[in-house]
Amino acid sequence: MEAFYRLWYPRLFRFLYRLCRQYGQTEELVNDVMLIVWRKAPEFRYESRVSTWVFGIAHRCGLKALRGQSPATVEYLDEREGTVGFERGVERRDWVQRALSRLPAEHRATVEMVFYLGLSYREIGEIQGCPENTIKTRMYHARRRLRESFESLSEEVVHDDGTRTPTGYL
């Protein structure tokens, strides 16, 4: 189990962190997922890849943790101040995270699995327990909502105190 934990921890942490964006909560979720994997390992029937099974557990744990929560504030874990393009990179990450936080949890998880984990729609369908066409529909709506979010975010002005105002209200 120790070898399994070391192998899977980084991938699970990245996936769950992108879903909930809170460091402490992510640590707890990874440990919860590992505990479930440990307990349920004898029940694994080899009908799918191990990664599909593990990410399915992580997906369900992450969504359960997100129920009833308002969108989290973004915490950056790996900022390297002073590097070339640092500010532009942080701004881009901020825009992406803010736009993703506006998506429903199922859509956000689908986008994360496609773009950050590189999973196929079929694999995501297995993880989320739904048909592949449902995943395609979620991606369609997620892309549409992301485009709308980026457009509205581009129209905001950031003030010195950190507050944001849409440009139409100035």
The amino acid occupying position 99 is A
Which domains, and CATH codes, for the chain?
2-158 (1.10.10.10)
- The CA-CA-CA angle for residues 160, 165, 169, to 5°, reads 130
Q: From CA 155, how far away is CA 14, in angstroms rounded?
A: 30
d(CA 94, CA 105): 18
0.85 cut: is pTM over it?
no
Other Cβ atoms within 10 Å of 63 Cβ, number: 16
Residue of 2, 66, 5 whose CA lies nearest to 30: 5
- The DSSP letter of residue 39 is H
Closest CA to 100 of 111, 115, 89: 111
Q: What is the pLDDT along the chain (170 residues), one digit of tens a residue?
A: 889 889 999 989 988 888 887 888 899 999 999 999 999 988 888 888 888 889 889 988 988 887 766 554 444 444 444 444 444 555 666 777 788 888 888 898 899 888 888 889 999 999 888 999 999 999 999 999 998 888 877 765 555 566 655 544 33
Count of Cβ atoms closer than 10 Å to residue 2 Cβ: 6
